[in-house]
Amino acid sequence: MTGIFPLWKPRGMTSFSAVKEVGRQFKTKKAGHTGTLDPDVEGVLPICLGKATKLVEYLTADTKTYCGEVTLGVSTTTEDASGEIVDEAYIEEVMTRHDVEDMFEELTGSIEQVPPMYSAVKIKGKKLYEYAREGKTIERPARQVTIHELKLTSDPLLHEGKVSFTFEVTCSKGTYIRTLCVSIGEKFGYPAHMSSLTREASGAFNRTNCFTLEDLTDAAAKNSQEKLLMSVEQALTRFPIVKVDEETEKKVLQGAILPLHAEAAVDEEVWALYNQREECLALYKKDPKRDGMMKPEKMIRSIHD
């Protein structure tokens, strides 16, 4: 069973548990997700099965879109609603929509983030949340992320000294929306946390083409779960396509280094090589050691398939 199951992960479930359940329904242990979603977050979680697990690193790197809510006036240990309160401030006057939109412009583009202590980032071979559970706070190196678009989707609302508003953000791999919410609060001089989050899209996958675990259970009962899978080709739409003839296909399937194809002459890092039957054979990239040549980046199919 090879393909990508576009799961709409429910709130209250870890990404690990989701992968385990999907693998069980498809009767395979070869399964992997393409970007962790916290238990309190629902939304798009593509799960690669079988040989499609080769694509995990590429799909994880895809741009993602979230709809979230930030609450100003309270900060927490985890930077979201599940943590213990760290700091509070009573807000007497609500900021205008224009104020928020101006501030969003400052946070759009390339920004630096320090990963939260409650995250799976590893420092000295240990995950940050493991340090946090021991009551330790350690130095974390800042990382560059990209906020492609940040839009306000509701008017700021003042309630009992706290201000909340919703937003939509499209961002690069590795962006912590929790940390973005903290930054939003800092811009206004208040403690803040992420009070709600939904992942709406991840690369080629979005809310409209996802299935729930209930959908999968129903399909498995009819032994038709394969119909819910998206193909490798559907998942790789962001890579430019180079079609090869039958003779070249055989070389590709053997992992050969090839002359840079005329269609691959554009300034791209990776190309998807397809055969005449519209099947993706492999991902290729320019060979830095051989001018005018390209080499396999990732084999999708082999000569034994």
- Residue numbers annotated as active site: 38
Q: Where are the alpha helices (DSSP H) in the chain?
A: 15-25, 56-60, 97-106, 128-133, 177-188, 213-221, 232-235, 246-253
- DSSP codes joined into one string, 141-176: --EEEEEEEEEE-S--EEETTEEEEEEEEEE-TT--
What is each CA distance from 278 to 100, 149, 249, in whole angstroms?
A: 47, 33, 12
Q: How many CB atoms neighbour CB 95 within 10 A? A: 18
Beta strands in 78-133 (DSSP E): 85-88, 109-113, 122-123, 126-127
Alpha-carbon distance of 122 to 23, in angstroms, equals: 26
CA atoms within 13 A on the CB side of 67: 10
Q: Could you tell me if 22 and 32 are in contact, meaning their C-beta atoms sit under 8 angstroms apart?
A: no
